């Protein structure tokens, strides 16, 4: 099946710093990738849709200037949390749908746990 990798898997940073998270589709091309955030004991919350070669589409309430998304190639999307604060501590997961098989079946990366001190 399709594989999506995510890096880093875990990051701890000081308040005010920026953190970049990479999401890669390893064996397929993804013109669209999705970024989710998940707080403890809560469900997935879609943050934004990353589109290759164009601007990302952000969900209501998500600050686009704080969560910068770049989808520079068909296999890589990055999420940068700028000036991170403790309330940004969360589990960030990316996913990508494939163009074959079940329509819009999402393949998820392993997630990145961000802790902001």
Partner 1 sequence: GQNIDQPTEMTATEGAIVQINCTYQTSGFNGLFWYQQHAGEAPTFLSYNVLDGLEEKGRFSSFLSRSKGYSYLLLKELQMKDSASYLCAFLDSNYQLIWGAGTKLIIKP
In the list 52, 62, 66, 111, the residue contacting partner 1 (rule: CB under 8 A) is 111
Helices (H), 1-117: none
Of the pair 38, 82, the CB lying nearest partner 1 is at 38
- Can you tell me which of 14, 43, 53, 54 binds partner 1, judged by CB under 8 A? 43
Question: Is residue 11 near partner 1 by the rule CB under 8 A?
Answer: no
The CA distances from residue 64 to 71, 76, 82, in Å, are 14, 19, 10
Cβ proximity of 81 and 67 under 8 Å:
yes
**Residue 105 is a binding residue for partner 1 (CB under 8 A):** yes
Q: Binding segment for partner 1 among 17-25, 39-47, 72-80, 82-90 (CB under 8 A)?
A: 39-47
For the bound state, the minimum distance from the C-beta of residue 7 to partner 1, rounded and expressed in Å, comes to 13
Question: How far, in Å, CA of 51 to CA of 65, rounded?
Answer: 17
> Judged by CB under 8 A, which of 53, 61, 65, 102 binds partner 1?
102
Decide if residue 44 touches partner 1 (CB under 8 A): yes
Work out the number of other CB atoms within 10 angstroms of the CB of residue 94: 30
Query: CA distances (Å), 16 to each of 34, 35, 46, 65, 79, in order?
Result: 25, 22, 24, 14, 16
- Which residue ranges make up the site for partner 1 (CB under 8 A)? 34, 41-44, 46, 91, 93, 95, 102-111, 113
């Amino acid at each position: 099946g399709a594989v999506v990798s995510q890096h880093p898997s875990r990051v701890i940073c000081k308040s005010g710093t920026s953190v970049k998270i990479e999401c890669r589709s390893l064996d397929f091309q993804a013109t669209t990738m999705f970024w989710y955030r998940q707080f403890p004991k809560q469900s997935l919350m879609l943050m934004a849709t990353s589109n290759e070669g164009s601007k990302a589409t952000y969900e209501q309430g998500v600050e686009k200037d704080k969560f910068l998304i770049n989808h520079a190639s068909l296999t890589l999307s990055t999420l940068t949390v700028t000036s991170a604060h403790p309330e940004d501590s969360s589990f960030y997961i990316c996913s990508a749908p494939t163009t074959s098989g079940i329509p819009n079946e999402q393949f998820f990366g392993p997630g990145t746990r961000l802790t902001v001190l």
